[in-house]
Amino acid sequence: MGLARRSFRLLPLLFWAVFFAYPLWAIFRLSLFPDGRFDGSGFLNLATSSYYLETLGFTVGQAALSTLITLGLALPSAYVFVRFRFMGKKLLLALSTLPFVLPTVVVATAWSALIGDQGVINTALITIFGLASPPFQIERSLTLILIAHVFYNYAIALRLISGFWANQSPHLEDAAQVLGAHGWRLWWEIRLPLLWPAIASAAALVFIFTFTSFGVIVILGGLRYATLEVEIFNQARNLFNLPMAAALSLVQIGSMFALMLVYTRLQKRTPIDLFRSAQLTRSPKTWTERTMIALTIGLIGILVFSPLIALVIRSLQGGFSAYLRLNQNPRGSVLFVTPLEAIGNSLMFAVITTILAVILGLLTAYLIQRRGILDALFMLPLATSAVTLGFGYLLTMPGEIWVIPVVHTLVALPLVIRSILPALRNLPPHLSEAAQVLGATPWQVWRAVDLPLLRRGLIVGATFAFTVSMGEFGASLFLARPDTPTIPIVIFRLLGQPGATNYGQALAMSVILMIICAISFWIIEHTSGDF
């Protein structure tokens, strides 16, 4: 019985080895040993090709620019949330996190619906002023990519900085003000050095997310603005140049591991309590302070809510006709199945992913509790892009439909573990000991004592797994067969085709996916008070 229990607990390690390490090893082998012998020509081509060097430079440049803009908006907003009390503050902070659970295809489609050539703003301006062409022509541009990235990462930076700031004693600033430090001098000499660990940690995390951005880039930018992620997909699926795709993947993996190492070290120096802010807050007293609050609320409204509202408005432009056509697949369509069938595929994959991720996440949490060194091992999928994982699966398990929920599970597993592990570590040991003294078997102790106390963490983890699976795009685009697409893949294919019908169906599918993710977000916020 003891051997069987130990073997069962080692199941997560087996899953990690087969479905994470093995695909990455296949990429490593293809890039450096394509014919069984060492061959560094792929990396030589990367180092000597101006195209690939420009692609790497653009990947780093757009990530750095996105990070700077995000921090530039999040830092003043953090000051407002930490220092002032105002109506709806907690709700606004919670809702600002909604983009974190939205799939990239929904984000890209929402911004296109707001300020694209056919978006709400351009359509309104053309109608009002009788213009011949859209006044804001920023589709397929770096500007739209940067806006979408800020939309995605603003709340992350806001929470990290404000959470750290709320834990700092206000006495240091008070003393500096008494000694004559005011205005920019107070910011430059006191606040920024004090907040530097949180700012650096937030910058590293935002840079990681934008460095590996795929859905936003490929939908809003296309191959003209290709990053490493997009180029890996292009080389593997469009050009069938697998050795080059493998070499690019290794560069991506190495870069991500280095970035994650930097972020991990920064995070250790940044103790954060996201909800300990009441001790510093006060009501605004001057018009300047009230204006700052109004500008922050306006920024969140424009940045977070306006594209989502525009998405719904554009999807209903012809009534509910776009939704009613989701069960249709006209002759000559780019799709092999109806959009409604794709919704069924996504739901099926999400249910399987949720079951696998919760079981493996629970087993992994127990394993990490006993051997904490394994924690970093199971966090490695966070440092690996979904596109790279999809390419690894394409090399090792091509054409297998069951691989899709497996890779979704791998992507979701770190979030599930992080949801369960704190609850597991907080289990009071005396309850289990008392149950054992009363004659309960280990299974009865777990079912009657541990499981009820772990329920909230399991619900949050299951919700994360379901949401991640519904919105996963990069790996699924590699692995899905034509007859088994998911919702994000259908949206991507419809957006790539001309015609109002295709565009309307893409908008309707995006709204459905947004609603599903919003419901999941509500469950997470109301189940876990310290999310």
Judged against a pLDDT cut of 70, whether residue 480 lies above it is answered with yes
The pTM for the full model equals 0.83
Mean pLDDT of the chain, nearest integer: 83
The pLDDT assigned to 181 comes to: 57
Residue 213 DSSP symbol: -
Cα 358 from chain centroid (whole Å): 19
- Mapped onto helix, strand or coil, the DSSP state of residue 282 is strand
Give the pLDDT of residue 86.
Answer: 86
What are the pLDDT digits (tens) for 229-270?
Answer: 889 888 888 888 888 888 888 888 888 888 877 877 776 665
pLDDT tens profile 203-226: 998 998 899 888 889 888 877 888
Contact 35, 243 (CB under 8 A): no
Separation between Cα atoms, residue 84 and residue 58, nearest integer Å: 39
Please give the Cα distance from 93 to 525 (Å, whole number).
11
Give the integer Cα–Cα distance in Å for 155 and 142: 21
pLDDT digits (tens, 9 = 90+) for 65-104: 999 999 999 999 998 988 888 888 888 887 887 887 788 8
- In tens, the pLDDT along 296-338 reads 999 998 988 899 999 999 899 878 888 988 888 765 566 788 8
DSSP for 244-271?
HHHHHHHHHHHHHHHHHHHHHHHHHT--
φ/ψ of residue 440, rounded to 5: -75, 140
Query: Count of CB atoms within 10 A of residue 518's CB?
Result: 16
Q: Which residue segments constitute the domains of the chain, with CATH numbers given? A: 40-101+143-305 (1.10.3720.10), 319-531 (1.10.3720.10)
Q: Regarding predicted confidence, which is higher, 371 or 110? A: 110
